[in-house]
Amino acid sequence: MDLDEVLGAVQQRFRPYIHSFPEFSRLPRKGVAQSEVLSLLRQLQSSEGMRWKKGFVSGAVYHGERVHTGFAARAYSLTSQSNPLHPDVWPSLVKMEGEIVAMTAHLLQGGPNTRGAVTSGGTESILLAMKAYRDWAREKKGITEPEVVLPMSAHVAFDKACHYFGLRARIVPLGPDYAADVEAVKEAITPNTVAVVGSAPCFPYGVVDDIRSMSEIAHDHGVGFHCDACLGGFILPWARPLGYSVPPFDFELPGVTSISVDPHKYGYTPKGTSVILYSNAELLHKQYYVAKRWPGGIYFSTSMAGSRPGGLVAAAWATLLSLGEAGYRQLARKIFQTAERIRRGIAQRPGVKMMGDSRIVAAFTTESPDIYQVMERMSERGWFLNGLQNPPGVHLAVTLRQTPRPVTQRFLSDLDWALERARNSPTASGLAPIYGMAEALPEEAVGEFFESVIDWIYHGS
């Protein structure tokens, strides 16, 4: 398959959908009636809704039940005009943000010195932490060529942070258990290291790194340790009370100096809320921005954005309060049980190999047939799984959408069908060849290739 064919396949996936609804390439001359706009919105979303509501999508929508989302939407609508950039106008948002940070810090065993801020998502929390470590190390240690020790499985947001903020990533391999290789972490630390990163758990495999050992190494070298608990921060705290083993990963460990954690994943809030926590105020100050002489007046911000949606703060605050500890524990139990069931079922399929141990993610690969062929056949059955690469694999991040038993059964029977089809009639369409192609291309060409893919998705050429 050549580049044009791959781009053609991408176009085929998005264009028919876009063209099957009225198109607006300029402002309508006269406003469209609100009822008509809402009806169009419903139509636009209806087929998408069927995918995630029925549990066909890995991760992405963590709760999604109607009464729950309706409640958060009501909280949003009460506060949709508010903006945390103006704390004097909306002191209620100062209270709510402070309480979101405090509740999250308590959940992750923070102490009296723990400080934090609300951000727009895991990526922003990670970007801010990496900037804070860079600036802290420049000021305190005079480090001008900062480096970060990153396990292969760390979220791509860390690589993005390196790209944006001029940090060098020292990538370390994983062990056979798909957790960061602790010895390699030790060896990767240099006098320029500003922080070591570990995940609880990592996105690709759902595996929790050995945060205890890694944070001790960082502490011994006098560098920061960031635990990325974006995915696990709101669910793993319930594992031990429910009888599941999970290694320690939070502020219980004295070497952990910052944690990113996402209410908009297993915290079940609407999308657009994350929390970044630090073990002390000094680090937090390195992410603040204060304008000193701007003619527009006194200006400061706690995160990267200027204006921010106060409605999302209120919706997140309302969600945390309404679920409470008992609510989170109950939902965590359902997810742990479902993930266990799905993982056991996958592991029983011949030729399939699990990638790492996890409480919430089922990552697997195949000796034969090709795993991307299996993924493509699963997508023909309606599934949106996440493709993995280096090495090839696929994963399902289990959410509440998969907890009804018929969804698990459907997943496993579709997997049988997909394995059989992939074995007997490999396909040349869909995402399988894109993954294959990306792996075959030299690294520099991959960037250019995906710039074209992005253009085709959003601009059609």
CB 55 within 8 A of CB 77: no
Which residues contact residue 226 at a Cβ distance below 8 angstroms, ignoring those fewer than 6 apart?
126, 129, 130, 133, 195, 196, 197, 198, 257, 258, 259, 260
Q: Is the alpha carbon torsion for 4, 10, 11, 16 positive or negative?
A: positive
Which residue, 203 or 317, is less far from ligand PLP as judged by CB? 203
Out of 10, 129, 150, 157, the only residue in the binding site for ligand PLP (CB under 6 A) is 157
- Sole binder of ligand PLP in the list 63, 115, 155, 170 (CB under 6 A): 155
CB of 118 to ligand PLP, least distance (A): 13
- The verdict on 224 binding ligand PLP (CB under 6 A) reads no
Region from 28-36, 118-126, 313-321, 337-345 binding ligand PLP, contact rule CB under 6 A:
118-126
Rounded Cα distance, 235 and 406, in Å: 23
Applying CB under 6 A, among 58, 114, 193, 199 the residue interacting with ligand PLP is 199
Q: From the CB of 395, what's the least distance to ligand PLP, in Å?
A: 11
Are 361 and 265 in contact by the 8 Å Cβ rule? The answer is no
Length of the chain, in residues: 461
Residue 262 binds ligand PLP, judged by CB under 6 A: yes
Task: Tell whether residue 75 is a contact of ligand PLP (CB under 6 A).
Answer: no
List the one residue from 55, 116, 122, 436 that touches ligand PLP (CB under 6 A).
122
**Residue 321 phi, psi dihedral angles, 5° rounding:** -65, -40
Choice between 121 and 430, CB closer to ligand PLP:
121
HSE-up of 278 (CA within 13 Å, CB side)?
Answer: 24
Q: Which residue, 123 or 379, is less far from ligand PLP as judged by CB? A: 123
Signed CA dihedral, 323, 120, 59, 384: sign only: positive
Q: What is the 3-state secondary structure (H, E, C) of 32-87?
A: CCHHHHHHHHHHHHHHHHHHHHCCCECCCCCCCCHHHHHHHHHHHHHHCCCCCCCC
Task: Considering only the stretches 34-42, 164-172, 228-236, 452-460, report the one whose residues sit in contact with ligand PLP under the rule CB under 6 A.
Answer: 228-236
Instruction: Return d(Cα 210, Cα 199) in angstroms, integer.
Output: 9
Among 123, 257, 403, 408, which residue sits at the site for ligand PLP (rule: CB under 6 A)? Answer: 123
DSSP state of 269: P
Site for ligand PLP in 401-430 (CB under 6 A): none
In the complex with ligand PLP, which residue's Cβ is closer, 7 or 101?
Answer: 101
> Shortest Cβ contact with ligand PLP: which residue?
122
**List of E strands, 311-416:** 352-354, 361-366, 386-388, 393-397
CB of 233 to ligand PLP, least distance (A): 9
213 binds ligand PLP (CB under 6 A): no
Confirm if 358 and 343 have CB atoms less than 8 A apart: yes
Write the CB contacts of 308 (distance below 8 Å, at least 6 apart in sequence).
83, 84, 85, 120
For residue 398, give the nearest of 354, 324, 348, 343 by alpha carbon: 343
Q: Does 203 bind ligand PLP (CB under 6 A)?
A: yes
121: contact with ligand PLP by CB under 6 A: yes
CA distance 126 to 122: 6
Binding of ligand PLP by 209 (CB under 6 A): no
Stretch that binds ligand PLP, among 15-23, 195-203, 338-346, 350-358 (CB under 6 A): 195-203
* Beta bridge pairs of residue 70: none
Which C-beta is closer to ligand PLP: that of 231 or that of 422?
A: 231
In the bound state with ligand PLP, the residue whose beta carbon lies nearer, of 357 and 380, is 357
Instruction: Please identify, using beta-carbon distances, which residue of 155 and 308 lies nearer to ligand PLP.
Output: 155
By beta-carbon proximity to ligand PLP, the closer residue of 128 and 143 is 128
Instruction: Tell me the number of residues near ligand PLP by CB under 6 A.
Output: 13
Instruction: Give CA–CA dist 263/323, Å, rounded.
Output: 12
Rounded CA-CA distance 2/434 in Å is: 10
Query: What minimum distance in Å lies between the beta carbon of 302 and ligand PLP?
Result: 17
Select 233 or 436, whichever has its Cβ closest to ligand PLP: 233
Query: Which one, 205 or 435, has the nearer CB to ligand PLP?
Result: 205
By CB under 6 A, name the binding residues for ligand PLP.
121-123, 155, 157, 199, 202-203, 228, 230-231, 262, 274
